[in-house]
Structure formats: structure tokens, C-alpha cells
Structure 1
């Protein structure tokens, strides 16, 4: 059980080190091939495939585990390069997790090597510090949710809206995001829900409309944010997407909200992407680009 927990933490940390496919020079399956454990990489959703690669290598080719980790780090230094370089904190965290599976890798502990990475050493963990490890959602639960969202289209419009909110509540709950159902914090104000991610609380707006959501609806949610503390955030999920003109107009102003559409939900569920990391990546890209909506396909 201890090793399983350590493997899950390692997979969560290494998730952003390399792509799972689509690259002929740097990718997890290529790193596995390089050290002779290619048979343990099964194409599919990246996090489950990476977890299986680490688990099977540890169980059946333990002598190849450290070479595999080193090869992943080497290829990641090339793949992430200057655009998003590996940081000292990430390598420090890797060194802290490896003893959980019975290893220390001297090459990763060399001071000269560590000094080549930007950033400061990882701070000592605190009980409230957010982690990069995703809660492993129950595959059976995700399969059920995939069926539920597919069946929503057959419901009457009003019933469909409430069912969509319940679906999202159960989806966030599957990933341990502490969702709250619809509530009325003030007279005349309706909030579709809220959830927690990496220490931040997000308000939730959910719409299932056939037509794309216009900028006016985005401004309504942004107005709710403006009446709250400056660190407040919001996620707007519109199954029918957002009008291009509306997004273009909304992106001109300051906001702390990000957007997901139905295709993002489909990609997240069908590819087995960890929902918390999907939202976290969307938030980061919004800060970097000023765009409140970036497709999941462009992030993973």
C-alpha cells in the first residue's frame, strides 16, 4: 500500500514532464523504450498509462526503475526546454518521493546538477499546501458519468439543466473537489455551485444550451465575482460552447473566471484526464495569455 501511494504521487508529479504520445523524440513511451521497458507502456489516457508503467517496472524490472526516471528527466529537460523549464522545486519533490519506492538516485542529488534548474528549492511541506497529485477517480464512476452526460440530451430543457448541475456536482466529487450544490448567498442571487481546488474556492456557473453562450452571460458571472474578495475565482461551463465574438469581447477586460465547453468535458472523460489538473491548467493558461477559454485539446 505504501508503494502504491508513492507510485500515485510520482505519477502525479511526472505527469507534466513529458507528453504521452505525438512526439518522435521525447515522450513517455520513448523513455520506456530507451531503458527496455516499452512493453509496460500501454497507449491510452496519460495518467493511467504512466501509473501502469511505473508500477510494472517496479514489480517486474526493478533494476530499470531508476534508469527510467533518469531518462524521463533527461527527455523532459529537452521537451520543456526554455518555454516551461523543469524547476528546482520539481526535482527536489522527485527526490523526496523516490524513497517511498525504495530508491535514491545520486545523479539527481548532485548539487551541481540541481543548480542548473531555475527557481528555489522546494519548501518544506505544510498540512494545507496544495499538491500536484490528482485524486484517482473510480473508473466505474467515470464510466457512469460518461453515460449520464450522453443521456442528458434526451431530457426536456428545464429538466436537463438541473440534471447537468447534478452531473457536474458528482463529477467534481469523484475527484475530491468538495463540491457544493446550487445555493442563494444573497437575496436575488443564484449560484449554481462551488468547489475547491489547490486551496482556491471557485464559483460555478453551468448552462446546457444548444446556442453558444454570449458575452452577456459571462459578464453576469464576472459581476458576481466583483462583489467578492479579490482572490475569488469562477468556472463557467457551457455545454454548447461560447460565441467567438463574446469571448473576444470578454477577453478585453480583467476577470478571474475560466471557461469549459462540452468538448472539454468530452475530452476530459474520454481520455481519462484528471479533472483537477484540467482546471488548473486552464487557470494557468488564462493568467499567461489573458484568454478565459483555451481548449483541453490545446492543453494536453
Structure 2
């Protein structure tokens, strides 16, 4: 099937917020894009890559070249499972879903399911991403330190994911644990983060930076 690459890129950009590509350490594999493909018997279309945007682009490209119905089912179920994901509740808007439908039509695929009143009416019209992350920060401030440290790690992962920085969760190298990593301008960066209960002065900030 012939379609413009930029139209597929636009669809990938919109779908990016619905589900992760890899499972977060505390998350469920069920809420990942590869899990959706596997449940639709499309495991053979899943590319062996780590980048979420590139992986999603290849998956959808493989699907549309194989069967339009598989492509439509993939997009539909990524959206529906994204709406079902607990962390996404109230964060995905009607505009985002309708934008997915419009972008699919540009590619040449009509998806009526996502335009049904039954689905659209259950989705909020507006969202405030800043408010979502700020509230999460305030909630963490009330947690005990061990739980807060784990929650902060997940917060950073979702924050970087929201800004499409391809985050990776914490991992261990020999005796050292790396809090995570992200990609900016095709360059990977390692992340070291620490929650401080009290505000840091300029001296403490410089000390923390130098210790890295």
C-alpha cells in the first residue's frame, strides 16, 4: 500500500502517548505496544528495537504492508488499551483519539470504532499535563522516603516519556546503580537523580553536581 511517510510519522507521534514500548519495572507487560500486537497474533510484525517511536513506526509500517485489517486492529487496540491503562485515566483527550482517526484516514484506513459515541463520551475533552505532574510531585512529598524514592523514579520515567525522550528505567552496572537514561537529539544520557526534602543552597547544588 502506498502512503506518505510523513502521514505515518504524524500517526506515530500521536500514538506515542498511549502506551509504552517496554514495560516499566513496576508496570504490567499487558500495557505495552508489543503486548497489543501479540494479543492480535501479530508477534511476527514486532521489530527488534528499543526506541519507542522507531519501533512503533516499523510495527505499523509492517502491519499496513501485510494487511489493512491488522493495521486497523493494532491502532484501535493501542488506543483502547491506552485509555484503559490506570496511569492514563483522565490524561488522554477526545482530540487525541479523533486525531488518530483522522491521521489513519489520511493514510487510507478508516477506523469507525474509535469515532463511536460510546467511546468518545467516556474520554475527557481537555487535560492539563502540567497539573498532572505537579500534583504527582506534591503527592510524593507526603510519602515515606523509601516509597518516595521508587515513585520518583517512575515519575521521571513518565515525564521523559511525555516529552518523547525515550527513557529507560534504572539498571545496575557491577556495584553501581544508574537511575535511568534518556535520549536527546539522538544522544543518550545517563540520569542520576535524588530527592531532597529541603531546598538546596548554591553550595549544596554544586557539591551534588561535582559528586557525579
CA distance in 2, matches of 1:239, 1:48: 21
Mapped partners of 1:14, 1:93: distance in 2: 10
Please tell me whether the aligned partners of residues 94 and 123 of structure 2 are also in contact (alpha carbons under 8 angstroms). yes
- Matching residue of 1:36: 41
Please tell me whether the aligned partners of residues 19 and 27 of structure 1 are also in contact (alpha carbons under 8 angstroms). Answer: yes
Question: Does 2:199 correspond to 1:249?
Answer: yes
C-alpha change, 1:133 and 1:24, in structure 2 (3 Å) is closer
Within 2, Cα distance between the matches of 1:80 and 1:66?
24
> In 1, distance between residues paired with 2:199 and 2:193?
11
Give the corresponding residue for 1:58. 64
Do 1:86 and 1:118's aligned partners in 2 also have CA atoms closer than 8 Å? yes
Contact between 2:68 and 2:109, CA under 8 Å: does it hold in 1? no
- CA 1:8–1:80: 2 relative to 1, 3 Å: farther
* Cα distance in 1, alignment partners of residues 15 and 43 from structure 2: 17
| Deviation (angstroms), 1:248 | 4.3
Aligned residue for 1:91? 97
The Cα of 1:55 is off from its aligned counterpart by 0.5
Question: Structure 1 106/239 Cα, relative in aligned 2: closer, same or farther at 3 Å?
Answer: closer
State which structure, 1 or 2, has the greater radius of gyration over its C-alpha atoms.
1
Structure 1 stretches (4+) deviating beyond 4 angstroms? Answer: 80-84, 238-245
Partner of 1:118: 124
| Structure 2 partner of 1:104 | 110
Contact 1:20 / 1:28 at 8 angstroms: preserved in 2? yes
Q: What is the TM-score of this pair, normalised by structure 1?
A: 0.40
Aligned length: 142
Q: Which has the higher contact order (CA 8 A, sep 6+)?
A: 2
CA deviation map 1:153-198 (0-9, x unaligned)? xxxxxxxxxxxxxxxxxx75x79xxxxxxxxxxxxxxxxxxxxxxx
Query: Secondary structure, in 3 states, of the residue corresponding to 1:249?
Result: coil
Shift in Å, 1:18: 0.7
TM-score (norm 2): 0.56
Give 5+ residue unaligned stretches, structure 1. 121-131, 135-170, 176-237, 252-260, 262-300
C-alpha spacing 1:243/1:87, structure 2 compared with 1 (3 Å)? closer
Unaligned stretches of 5+ residues in structure 2: 127-161, 165-183, 202-208
The answer to whether the 8 Å contact 1:87/1:118 transfers is: yes
Q: For residue 16 of structure 1, what is the aligned residue in structure 2?
A: 17
Structure 2 SS opposite 1:25: helix
What is the root-mean-square deviation of aligned Cα atoms in Å? 3.5
Q: How does 1:48-197 map to 2 (within 5 A)?
A: 48-80=54-86, 83-119=89-125
